[in-house]
Chain A
Amino acid sequence: MKYLDEYRDAPVVRNVLAEIKRTVTRPWTLMEVCGGQTHSIIRHGLDQLLPEQIELVHGPGCPVCVTPLELIDKALVLAARPDVIFTSYGDMLRVPGTFVYAKTGTQANDLFSVKSQGGDVRIVYSPLDALKIARENPYKTVVFFAVGFETTAPANGMAVQQAAREGLDNFCVLVSHVTVPPAITAIMEAPETRVNGFLAAGHVCTIMGVGEYRPLAEKYRIPIVVTGFEPLDLAYGILNVVKQLEAGAYEVENAYARTAPNQGNLAAQKVINEVFEACDRAWRGIGVIPQSGYRLREKYVKFDAERRFPDVGAMQSIESDICRSGEVLQGLLKPDQCPAFGKQCTPLTPLGATMVSSEGACAAYYKYGRIQD
């Protein structure tokens, strides 16, 4: 496949792996921030090909994993309303919440269950599809689950702008946007952090550029390499982090310049700034990280589902005390070190989102671990 096969070329990847082996002299712990990178590392078996001294820990960059339980429950409650059509990207439909369906008294702990009990839940591939549904169903309120990092925020913001232009008053968004740099700060500020270097998420930098990482690299004296998602991208990113660590350097490097220009995508940034403003936000399993989320600006607040349905806005939820996905998301615990891993918690009976999401570290470990059984 053009533009893709080149980045999966086995001899080229092997050369980079050999160079990593030649370069590394002592143990380093690297964190890949993005769930897409975790998924790719496991899918291509890259982790097994690295020298033993390099330990990869998985970061909080899976939007499905870090969406707080409270927002999942809010989504379930909204989706169960007879006057609502609830729209979402596909991978949010299996994330477990704690909502009990009032009509039947049975637990409907994910959006698929709510759908099976009569909720109008629809998978969309773009927020613009949700707008279309709103146009076609003027007597229902269409709620779109606006989940994701800086990568999905521009399209979600554009949908809100478009709804405002068209006067589509039956459209609103349940916002769960989070941003990467405050998460890196939180990980580095944690006293028990083991991370020596970061592979920054290439897609996020495609939108936001690399500038906001420089103060972080400087402050924490830590190398940050903007890295793509193919095996060669990841191997090359790891090599660059290791080279810096071995040389005692702590630069921001862009190893994904073919897609992520240094200044990012200015038009997309403009949409984000126009529609959203930074706010404190809870990350599932981690807690509140200051200024780490987006909420709608006052100008667009009538499109905020939590304002439109105040009873939902006021909801609070309590997490399972067995699930330790928060420590997994911070790179403090390997998934298979969690006592519930593979026992109470499997992809079919997930306690936390890291097990349910295809990008979740626990789900990836569950699959990989089975080879060694």
Chain B
Amino acid sequence: MTTINLTNFVCPLPLRRYPQIVMGHGSGGQMMNELIEHLFAPVFAGAGQPVPLSDAAVLELPDILANGSRLAFSADSFVVSPAIFPGGDIGSLAVHGTVNDLAMMGAQPLYLSASFILEEGLSLETLGQIVQSMAAAAQIAGVRIVTGDTKVVERGHGDGLYINTNGVGILPPGINPTPGRVTPGDVLLVNGPLGDHGIAIMSLRAGLQFETQIVSDSAPLNGLAAEMLKACPDLHAMRDLTRGGLAAAANELARDANVGLEIEETAVPVQLAVAGACEMLGLDPLHVANEGKLLAIVPAGSAEVVLAAMHNHPLGQQAALIGRVTETHPGVVVGRTAIGGQRVIDLPAGELLPRIC
């Protein structure tokens, strides 16, 4: 009979210290707990306020909720590739995206959730870097990441990682920017040059090099929006200019408010390098994505005061008045071109496709 010697037995199954995500990190077992305890929780914890590891966060909402304020709630998912790009990464983007969605409703964002879908094989170093970036972005935006979730999918079933963020914020009484309030005569303001994010990502994917490196404009817009609302609590509508760019946001507003929008194309700020890249790729900068830009529609009488407030904020120094709301051609956005012609600024039909010639 064979004797099995169990002295000094070491299980050959390695459990920890993988340099990459493995399926076990999403198992619900020890490995997942280690990932949350050692990678997510300490990074997301605010000063002296550890993130609870229970199933849901209990939120302390400021007293003003009782005074006619409302709760704003938003969700967004982030699937950007590559995950790290000039000017940001998927982590900071996931914070800015949801913060901005809340801010565009006039809300002050307070709490976020962060859910991760990780692909087997993702390096823990990359994940750590992205999580740190999320925490830094949350701190700058003044929000706390208080709950989340982790899943792992098999290699080939995800693009490294996807992040979903949800957020809640407080909407003070009397603040109500919504398309229904947009009125002919209102003016259109943007907070700076358009197209930086989309071109930064596209040039990286296409391996294009430009004389000036084009950096994403990813930024939290809640501070800027708060200053604008302080200057003009009656601000009629706001949209952050993400996928589809200014064209998409303007078309949505024109449709929802059933008004015409007219944009003076020469007044729209676009960086020289972005304009050059768009020429080369056959794209319209008004269709290209942004992650730190907004379109505000304000009563004409408030234009100056809102612009001044924008110019005083670091994210609005190049703010510009780019057009106005009209009664004519409801639902359509028209561009006044540099040479005095006019054209329809339409929604892009689908993904932006570089032209052949």
A residues within 8 Å of B by Cβ? 1, 4, 8, 10, 13-14, 36, 42-49, 63-64, 89-94, 112, 123, 125, 129, 147-149, 151-152, 203, 231, 347-348, 358-359, 367-368, 370-371, 373
Tell me the smallest distance from the CB of B72 to a CB of chain A, in Å.
32
Given A1-B272, A44-B337, A371-B332, also A358-B342 (CB < 8 A): no
B339/A44 in contact, CB under 8 A: yes
Given A63-B356, A91-B355, A371-B329, also A348-B343 (CB < 8 A): no
Tell me the smallest distance from the CB of B282 to a CB of chain A, in Å.
7
Provide the bound-state CA to CA distance between A370 and B343, in Å. 9
Which of B275, B284, B339, B354 touches A13 (beta carbons < 8 Å)?
B339
Provide the bound-state CA to CA distance between A93 and B157, in Å. 23
B356/A45 in contact, CB under 8 A: no
Provide the bound-state CA to CA distance between A119 and B344, in Å. 35
B357/A152 in contact, CB under 8 A: yes
B339/A368 in contact, CB under 8 A: no
- Residues of B270-303 at the interface with A, using a CB-CB cut-off of 8 Å, are 272, 275-276, 279, 281-282, 284
Tell me the smallest distance from the CB of B205 to a CB of chain A, in Å.
9
Contacts A/B (CB < 8 Å), 9 sampled: A43-B284, A43-B343, A44-B341, A89-B354, A90-B352, A91-B282, A147-B356, A347-B349, A373-B329
Provide the bound-state CA to CA distance between A373 and B352, in Å. 26
Given contacts A45-B341, A90-B355, A359-B355, 16 further A-B contacts (CB under 8 A): A10-B338, A43-B343, A63-B356, A91-B282, A91-B353, A91-B356, A94-B349, A112-B351, A125-B281, A151-B357, A231-B338, A347-B349, A348-B349, A367-B344, A367-B346, A371-B343
Provide the bound-state CA to CA distance between A152 and B355, in Å. 12
B residues within 8 Å of A by Cβ? 206-208, 272, 275-276, 279, 281-282, 284, 329, 332, 334, 337-344, 346, 349-357
Tell me the smallest distance from the CB of B5 to a CB of chain A, in Å.
48
Given A46-B339, A49-B339, also A94-B353 (CB < 8 A): yes
Task: Please indicate the chain A residues that have their CB under 8 angstroms from the CB of B207 in the complex.
Answer: 125, 129
Task: Please indicate the chain A residues that have their CB under 8 angstroms from the CB of B332 in the complex.
Answer: 370-371, 373
- Max chain A C-beta neighbours (<10 A), residue from B334, B342, B352: B342
A45/B282 in contact, CB under 8 A: no
Which of A13, A203, A231, A370 touches B344 (beta carbons < 8 Å)?
A370
Task: Please indicate the chain A residues that have their CB under 8 angstroms from the CB of B272 in the complex.
Answer: 1
B343/A358 in contact, CB under 8 A: no
Residue in B closest to A149 when the chains form the complex, CB atoms: B357
A8/B338 in contact, CB under 8 A: yes
Residue in A closest to B329 when the chains form the complex, CB atoms: A371
Provide the bound-state CA to CA distance between A370 and B279, in Å. 25
Provide the bound-state CA to CA distance between A42 and B346, in Å. 12
Given A1-B276, A148-B357, A358-B282, also A125-B206 (CB < 8 A): yes
Tell me the smallest distance from the CB of B312 to a CB of chain A, in Å.
29
B329/A125 in contact, CB under 8 A: no
Provide the bound-state CA to CA distance between A91 and B356, in Å. 7
Tell me the smallest distance from the CB of A10 to a CB of chain B, in Å.
5
Tell me the smallest distance from the CB of A350 to a CB of chain B, in Å.
9
Provide the bound-state CA to CA distance between A187 and B349, in Å. 31
Tell me the smallest distance from the CB of A173 to a CB of chain B, in Å.
14
Which of B276, B351, B354 touches A125 (beta carbons < 8 Å)?
B354
